[in-house]
Amino acid sequence: MHDAPPLRAPGSASVGAAAMAPPRAYQVWEGSNVFFLGGRFIFGPDVRSLFLTIFLIIGPVAIFCVFVARKLMDKFSHHTGICIMVFAVAFTLYDLCLLLLTSGRDPGIIPRNSKPPEPEDFDGSIDVGGIQTPQLRLPRMKDVIVNGITVKIKYCDTCMLYRPPRCSHCSICNNCVERFDHHCPWVGQCIGLRNYRFFYMFVFSTTLLCFYVFAFCWVYIKKIMDAEETNVWRAMSKTPASIALIIYSFISVWFVGGLSVFHLYLIGTNQTTYENFRYRYDRRANPYNRGLLANFKEIFVSRIPPSKNNFQARVLPEQGLQPRQSAGGFMSPNMGKDVVDIEVGRKAMAWGEHDAASAIDIDAGLRNDTVDDKDGGLNESTLSFEHILPIESIDGSEVGAFEHHRRRSSLGSSGS
């Protein structure tokens, strides 16, 4: 008589299957980004500054609607007064949408490689006559041709790839970003290929919003002057909210307005902020400048390329890098060096540091690698080339000790 199988709680199979499901890409992301809504929105690590930016936009507009626009509805005809209020609210919502499109999308992150690329002149074999060739060191920089001008691209030790032209590694987000412009702390995100258009539209629309609030505050003061037949100072004293908004918008317009003009110049010359401060194309040829009209079309009309990352996709467990052979393979440009990555802003770990930390000296290597096996013979499998130095680097005493130990091992094996 067989026992009945144990009863399972409803839904336990689905819960177990969900627990065993591989994680999604955003859950194992190696960058410093912050994700929301299951990877649908990606922000920088300083996303909290975004709330300050939203407050600096909504706060003044709310004061304007309550203390200025609402009073102007009585000063103007019914439809004109309502239009002033509606336009202020609608334009603010439009500005916030541009802010979200700038801050919450992939700016153009290039996926990392799981292993370094192979040198271009590598033929696929590292054994020559049974002897392994030395390791091949990857070049630190490579030359590519862009519109007939030679441009140098740099190897990124963090992402293990050669950065495409105009790409740079953001030290805050810890990602390589295409057409990297800068990391904006006000939006909490890198500004790159896929969000630069929305960034400029956000800055420009904020400038227009400042002008709008500034202008209608003066209109309200003028209406008070006409209604009470008084001077400007007495009229301003009757609306302190207008005075505060005039000062606030005047200061803000210098910041966002100056930023709009500066990026208008960058767009017209097809530069990024990073290139403008680092390369100074006014002193050298700009390989990306295609003319004023073509430059503006590239930013505002051209199709935005899709993201190269699917943050919601399931990620299979990675096998990890295979252990490198000490006498063959490829080496990072920084292997064996104490190199500081200037663009990353932190010290890059040189390849082979883990091996160096666990390395042993030649005496210990000879003692450990030349032990007898259980039959009395020499364990030849442990005598690898990576533990034996050239014979010229060992003094006579060490050579003699090694030869004496080898003879004793051979005698022991022949006797057994």
Which helix (H) or strand (E) segment is 337 a member of? none
Q: Any idea how long the chain is?
A: 416
Q: Is 318 exposed, middle or buried (0-12, 13-18, 19+ CB in 10 A)?
A: exposed
Cα separation of the two ends of the chain: 61
What Å distances lie between residue 291 and 269, 294, 325, 350, CA to CA? 7, 5, 51, 43
Is 159 an annotated catalytic residue? Answer: no
The single-letter DSSP state of residue 154 is E
Q: Which ranges of 229-308 does DSSP label H, i.e. alpha helix?
A: 232-237, 240-269, 273-278, 292-300
Residue whose structure tokens are 């100056």: 258
Cα–Cα dist 93/144, whole Å: 44
- Give strand pairing partners of 234: none
* 333, HSE (Cβ side, Cα atoms, 13 Å): 18
Q: Alpha-carbon dihedral of residues 11, 13, 17, 19, nearest 10 degrees?
A: 70
The single-letter DSSP state of residue 91 is H
Cα–Cα dist 245/60, whole Å: 7
Q: Of residues 173, 184, 190, 217, which has the active-site annotation?
A: 184
Nearest to 178 by CA among 165, 197, 187: 165
Q: Which ranges of 279-361 does DSSP label H, i.e. alpha helix?
A: 292-300, 353-357
Q: Which residues have a catalytic role annotated?
A: 184
